[in-house]
Amino acid sequence: MSKYWTELVGQLEPYIPGEQPQDLQIIKLNTNENPYPPSADVAKAVKTFPHDSLRLYPDPESSALTQALAAYHGLDTSQLFVGNGSDEVLAHCFQTFFKNQKPILFADISYSFYPVYSALYQIDYRTVALNDAFGIDPAAYRQPNGGIIIPNPNAPTGIAMTLDTIRELLNDNDSLVIIDEAYVDFGADSAVELILDYANLLVVRTFSKSRSLAGLRLGYALGQSALIEGLNRVKNSFNSYPIGRLTSVAAIASLDDENYFQRCRSRIIATRTWLNDELVNLGFEVLPSSSNFLFVQHSSHPASDLYLELKKAGILVRHFNSARINNYLRISIGSEEECVALISALEQLLNPVPTQIPR
């Protein structure tokens, strides 16, 4: 606290990201990073990058990257916006679209950055309860609102909405509906194909999860050009150059290696199926996941205990101490070896082998 802060800054409750331990020995299944490296083409692009050019500011419009992304999604460059991670894109979205008289709506169990942006930009919000199966009920969103934001698949549940549910939300509301597709590549249907049909749809995506590039910081939004123009007005009133030269080159290399992208994705989905079954065998309830993590609770062991015991065993998972989900753990899908190590650690914790008492 300082007398130089504004009152608003004193009141903020900033988002707390998952732990990033410096110890590389730790098995990190807590922030949904990809266990596999980015494409070898990304490594090559970085190694051969003309570093002299770093002297110069990058293209403020990130034209090459925007063109590559537009081509990838079959859209026009005017329907694409890029930012420094999708968190930055989301922050710009809140500021651009959500400063309305009516409260915006998001689920009671959802990405915990949404209330933080709302506080930062002083936007009113109301949470809408997920149903008992932790699903989205579009009828619950039929109420006056200044906008809606939902991750698909949802975080931290991993449960996906169908495109029919999304269409229903878009038809029922003339406010803007933002679909946060951070995890869509792991098994949900993308709403990108609805963009030309709906002027009130904006889709936000990231290179952090499915493209193994969390350290690069690149996110983007797709929507009709009037929406994108609004985002650019805010971005150009904030930072002309959110995308560095190196970021752009590395991201384009990643997009060009579709084959590697598909292989990584499939491998994570296969590991997810394996881990799901193993956890069920150990007495866990596992929510149906379309993402690169599982949201689980155990029939007899509290999540807070398991979290601490796993941490002692050198495995980090995520525990959210919030209403309705404080007995769940969110476990990122790691490599096959990491998931095997997790299962052996859990076997030991849940069924400890009795130690022999020496006579």
Closest CA to 292 of 153, 179, 186, 154: 186
* Residues from 223 through 282 that contact ligand PLP (CB under 6 A): none
Q: What is the largest CA-CA distance in the chain?
A: 80
Q: In the bound complex, what is the minimum distance in angstroms from residue 311's beta carbon to ligand PLP?
A: 21
Which listed range, 84-92, 140-148, 158-166, 221-229, lies at the site for ligand PLP (CB under 6 A)? 84-92
Q: Give the one residue of 206, 271, 292, 297 binding ligand PLP; rule: CB under 6 A.
A: 206
Alpha helices of the chain — where are they, by DSSP H?
A: 7-11, 40-47, 63-73, 85-97, 113-120, 163-172, 225-235, 245-256, 258-281, 303-312, 336-350
The smaller minimum CB distance to ligand PLP, of residues 26 and 214, is found at 214
Q: How far is the CB of 90 from ligand PLP (least distance, A)?
A: 6
C-beta of 82 vs 303, nearer to ligand PLP: 82
Measured distance CA(161)–CA(200) in Å, rounded: 18
Listed ranges 81-89, 126-134, 192-200, 280-288: which one lies at the site for ligand PLP (CB under 6 A)? 81-89
- Report strand pairing: 329-332 vs 318-319: antiparallel
Would you call 277 helix, strand, or coil by DSSP? helix
The single residue among 219, 223, 230, 334 that binds ligand PLP, judged by CB under 6 A, is 219
The residue (of 289 and 345) whose beta carbon lies closer to ligand PLP is 289
Q: Note whether 151 binds ligand PLP by CB under 6 A.
A: yes
* Under rule CB under 6 A, residue 85 binds ligand PLP: yes
Pairing of strands 315-316, 27-28: parallel
CB of 213 to ligand PLP, least distance (A): 9
Residue 111 binds ligand PLP (CB under 6 A): yes
Q: Shortest approach of ligand PLP to residue 155 CB, angstroms?
A: 4
Name the minimum Å distance from CB 86 to ligand PLP: 3
Is position 185 an interface residue for ligand PLP (rule: CB under 6 A)? no
Distance CA(321)–CA(329), nearest Å, equals: 10
Distance, in Å, from the CA atom of 194 to the CA atom of 203, rounded to the nearest integer, reads 10
Give the residue with the Cβ less far from ligand PLP, 30 or 208: 208
Rounded least distance, CB 219 to ligand PLP, Å: 4
Determine, following the binding rule CB under 6 A, whether residue 208 of this chain makes contact with ligand PLP.
yes
Number of neighbours of residue 11 by Cβ within 10 angstroms:
10
Residue choice 26, 214, 343, 349 for contact with ligand PLP (CB under 6 A): 214
State yes or no: residue 134 binds ligand PLP (CB under 6 A): no
Q: Tell me whether the omega of the peptide bond preceding residue 156 falls within 30 degrees of 0, making it cis.
A: yes
DSSP 78: G
Angle at 184 between CA 17 and CA 335, to 5 degrees: 65
- Restricted to residues 155-184, the positions that interact with ligand PLP (CB under 6 A) are 155, 180, 182
Report yes or no: 177 and 194 within 8 Å, Cβ to Cβ: no
Task: Tell me the pairing of strands 104-107 and 125-128.
Answer: parallel
Enumerate binding residues for ligand PLP (CB under 6 A): 85-87, 111, 151, 155, 180, 182, 206, 208, 214, 219
